[in-house]
Amino acid sequence: MRQLAIIPHPEAKITLFSWNGKYLIKLEKGSLEQTYKVSELDLTSEADVHLLLDEEFIGSAVQRFRLMQQDLQAAFDRHGI
């Protein structure tokens, strides 16, 4: 796996990788992470990946982080952990 870029954003750490014919877009916030795999054949260049990472996409991902944290906390609460 080869790291191509770290894309600065105040809401999440975003890292772009290339691996096995795919671009991997990894977003991290605290202990949570989301990874999106996009075939290199679906894009014309690495620049297209940056186009995908618009504010609407990142905003949805950040909201998903909130939901993920709520789901994890609810599981802890259900089991008294």
Model confidence pTM above 0.75 = yes
pLDDT of 59 reads: 96
Residue reference for tokens 């870029």: 5
Query: Per-residue pLDDT tens for 29-72?
Result: 999 999 999 999 999 999 999 999 999 999 999 999 999 999 99
First to last CA, the chain: 36
Residue whose C-alpha is closest to residue 20's, from 39, 3, 47: 39
